[in-house]
Structure 1
């Protein structure tokens, strides 16, 4: 009876032991068949890390322009406030506000009748004096003949000669009065002195205008060609002077985002002094403006071509990484791994960096995704400019299943 009880107590422990042995055996078999058994190749060669997707660009050789940027104001090439030079009633206005006019085009007419009367009077006075001098000259001829025969005193001859000279001078004065009267009459026709655009009419037809009126009749502005006054830091003075010494300096007016050239002209002059308050130098450019793209008073962005670097190595600026020791880039080597390389950078402008040392044309540099790289990282890349649907490849040219 005692043996039966002890046997029944040992049976559950036996079953538990057998179950544990079965579980351990099954786990061992799974581990063995997974390829991680001691001494197998899988245990000694772990799988390689996946390639890191990046975007690259190829270092190129090109000419790089060196631009200087400034802010400027468009100014009319010439601005004239058209005023009357005589007093009178504005009889007729012959221009339309905003009209294009040529030099000599009639803009307005002042009542000419008072001035015509003055001219007629001057002409009549000259005719009167001419008749007098004709008679005086005949008398002088008689006195000369009588004086030669001894029938007239020399004093009479001299007096008559002086009278002829006096009348001759009077005729010269009469002609001057005629010229002046004619000029005043001409002033009643107001003409444009320059080619340009008329502004807002400042005096209406029918008003009495005076030569002393401060505002004038209208303002005419010459907009083709047109000028731009702009400023640059005083440190840019030497490059600009050197550029001018080498020939004409090209300047552009660009859109606010710098993506479009609005107008192209040439640098006309550099101001003769630096503004000590702002530390800037003023410059003036001239633009043909045949299409009317520039307008007086407009604020514009100016780009001046100071120099052009020839046949230099360049990369896109997103490739640059700046650290305490200067600039560096990740270069994709032939085996598809990334190499962090120190470089010397020159001009950086408009998305392009000039490489002075450390990189050769044709090498591939990472421009996107480089912050996940380390020295020797395997990369899968797409070259700048390829379609977004293209399959990325490793540096060895093999297709990669990892999309950037």
Structure 2
């Protein structure tokens, strides 16, 4: 009976397991078919995209790149030495008392500009007035004694002529007169010294400049070792900077040339960010030796600083115009690229000989660079006058790449100037009149306006 009851249960269990297995297999099969259908659809779309890319991709790769070009022209390049400098006063004086005493008054305001001889402070003069009175009284007494001895000497000389007294007595009286004369002279020195000490109670400015913070207050007893304030002479003011020793020889030669012509080398000072011109001046002097630790020489430039643009210990950027190269091959710096082999440019191979659509080709041309002047650079070798090089649109180029010249460097600025007309010229004239700093170093560089056409600024 028990075996007969177990057999149906086993059959039912096998049937249930078989049903579950069949359901699971059917589900996996349906999922696999769905995935295959999706991949096939994607492959078809990919093939269609590839076909479209094949039709148009080749044309896109062959499409010429629009570029802006500039021509190599003759021009002037300024040789500008740049350095970091520090503004220093032309003179620094520590104001202190020359006598001991109580400081009764402080008459200056901290940070103000003071003039030479201006009264800054006073010391109690009463002790010095008393000393002057004493020495004046002593001098008056000794002068009276001298006068009396001189009268006696004249009497003795009269009696000697009458043989009434001995010559020894006359000689003794003459010696006494000389002693009193020496005493009177000493008294005069004491009086002058007392007056001088009294004048020292009035503390005046020894130079013109800007006075600093007060270091002692009124009412304090001070000595000659106590500083009262520090004065910096800022009209004129100096800027000290350094240049490498390999530039010293050329700089000295330029200084001598400028000196023979009665001129000095101009110097510009820009702010810490090197974005604003502060003032202009001239080269003042060079140090007499090279710093062996840094291999540099100290140079000092002088500035009138009438507008107080420079402040002592101010950090500035210095630009020294040491020379000007005339009639050199000039090119915009934007055209210069750097590679493993050095500097190069993209040169138009045969300008004007492209296809009917104006498509040109470019060639990689190695160049040797000279002095850089702002956005212009001197070309020493590799290019000739009139050669056209790419200055914009360079990122997509390579050797033998096809290009279309969209514009020439300088044409856009020329159009803007023509559009502005006389109004712009008047504004420029007004700015130049009000701010002479705008004409820095009187730069004369060529302006490229079209192929082979150069305007030389005056």
Aligning the two structures, in what range does the TM-score lie when normalised by the shorter sequence?
Answer: 0.7 to 0.9
Question: What value does the CA root-mean-square deviation take over the aligned residues?
Answer: 2.5
Partner of 2:407: 382
In structure 2, what is the Cα distance between the partners aligned to 1:109 and 1:249? 45
Please say if 1:156 is aligned against 2:156: no
Give 1:355 deviation, angstroms. 1.7
* 1:221–1:233 Cα change, 3 Å: same
Residue 231 (1) aligns with residue 247 (2): no
Q: Quick check: 1:51–1:380 contact (8 Å CA) kept in 2? A: no
* CA separation of 1:242 and 1:311: change in aligned 2, threshold 3 A: same
Equivalent of 1:168 in 181, 188, 193: 181
Q: Equivalent of 1:328, from 344, 355, 363?
A: 344
5 Å matches for 1:4-403? 50-213=63-226, 216-247=227-258, 248-323=264-339, 326-332=342-348, 333-335=351-353, 337-340=360-363, 341-370=365-394, 371-375=396-400, 377-387=402-412
For residues 88 and 256 of structure 1, the distance between their equivalents in structure 2, rounded to whole angstroms, comes to: 45
CA distance in 2, matches of 1:262, 1:200: 26
- Name the TM-score, length of structure 1 as normaliser: 0.79
SS at match of 2:122: strand
Alpha carbons 1:330, 1:338 under 8 Å: kept: no
Task: Give the corresponding residue for 2:56.
Answer: none
Query: Retained in 1: the 8 A contact 2:101–2:221?
Result: yes
TM-score between both structures, scaled by the size of structure 2: 0.70
Show structure 1 runs of 5+ residues with no match.
Answer: 1-45, 397-404
Q: Tell me, in whole angstroms, the C-alpha distance in 1 between the residues paired with 2:323 and 2:408.
A: 30
Equivalent position SS for 1:85:
coil
Q: Are 1:86 and 1:210, in contact at CA under 8 Å, matched by a contact in 2?
A: yes
Q: CA deviation at 1:181?
A: 0.3
Q: Distance in 2 between matches of 1:185 and 1:158?
A: 41
CA distance in 2, matches of 1:366, 1:103: 61
Distance 1:87 1:223 in 2: 30
Residue aligning to 1:24: none
Greater percentage in helix: 2
In 2, the alpha carbon distance for the partners of 1:115 and 1:378 equals: 93
Mapped partners of 1:270, 1:95: distance in 2: 36
CA distance in 2 between partners of 1:177 and 1:376 (Å): 98
Per-residue Cα deviation, 1:209-245 (whole angstroms, up to 9, x for no partner): 11132xx111111111111111111212112211221
**Are 1:249 and 1:267, in contact at CA under 8 Å, matched by a contact in 2?**
yes
Give aligned pairs, total: 344
Deviation at 1:326, TM superposition (A): 4.8
* Unaligned stretches of 5+ residues in structure 2: 1-58, 259-263, 355-359, 416-449, 452-458
Q: After the TM superposition, which of the residue ranges 283-292 and 368-377 deviates more from structure 2?
A: 368-377
Q: Distance in 2 between matches of 1:95 and 1:262?
A: 29
3-state DSSP of counterpart to 1:305: strand
Change in 2 beyond 3 A, CA 1:308/1:327: same
Alpha-carbon distance in 2 for matches of 1:367, 1:329: 9
